[in-house]
Amino acid sequence: MLRTLIYRWYERQLERQVRSTPMPRHIGVLPDGNRRFARTAQLASSGDGHRRGADTIERLVRWCDELEIPVLTLWILSTDNFQRPEDELEAIFEIVEERIDGLLEMQARAQHPRRVRAVGRRDLLPARTLAAIERLEDATAGNTEAELLVAVGYGGREEIADAVRRMLADRATRGDSLEGLIAGLEADEISSYLYAPDVPDPDLIIRTSGELRLSGFMLWQSAYSEYYFCDALWPAFRRIDFLRAIRSYGHRQRRRGR
């Protein structure tokens, strides 16, 4: 009982501090540690760890809603993850499909409902999973106040390669020469062909589980992002962990290369 009271007091103190500092407009999250959590908690399978992680994702969306953070990107599945055992991948796809209705209900109740979009190589996804995602996208397409990007079948290098391919194809359709393309190529043009070019670059990127790397997450967009690494495994990630990340961001001086 006393521990709970202290926790709640500390959480309120953190929230007051967070609300008095600059707030990120876009947070990217690498929710890492589901499998390790499953082993540590002696769960029946890694799929159970991913299910616990999915619960934390839903809580995170609510925490961002409470702080009115307009854009949230979550990396659910990387292109590298497709090398994992088939039964683990099947569990992940099932969890994505199971949570679609919950996300729809959450957005229907939200004060500032989010447009939900998937970013990544959709051709890698099973047809039923892709159909569930597209149903969610269609149902939330009219939400204009906030965004939730779900990176699934995503890799930062692949995103840049796909962007360059689309740009070259467009230029070829317009009849541009290779020489003209080389002479006029600008970084902003490549940016316009990324998976979600209409959202701002992430101000803050959070990774859990104690890993100190980005593993290719939003390579192009994260040039001036602030990073926060947390030791908690993703299913054990608490609201105070989230608030600490936001507080850390609020106390930094962002120079953007200047």
Alpha-carbon span 14 to 247, nearest angstrom = 8
**Residue 232 phi/psi, 5° resolution?**
-60, 135
- Across 82-182, the runs of DSSP E, i.e. the strands, are 114-119, 146-154
- Side-chain-facing half-sphere of 96: CA atoms under 13 Å: 27
> 48, 81, 162, 201: which one is catalytic?
81
Tokens 């906030």 appear where?
146
143 has catalytic annotation: no
Which residue carries 């850390």 as its tokens?
Answer: 248
Assign 23 to helix, strand or coil. Answer: coil
> DSSP 3-state assignment of 246?
helix
Using the structure block, give the residue that is written with the tokens 């001086």. 253
Backbone angles phi and psi of 227, in degrees to 5? -115, 145
Contact of 232 with 241, CB cutoff 8 Å: yes
SS3 of 228, please? strand
**Residue 135: CB partners within 8 Å, gap ≥ 6?**
100
Report, as residue numbers or ranges, the catalytic residues. 32, 81
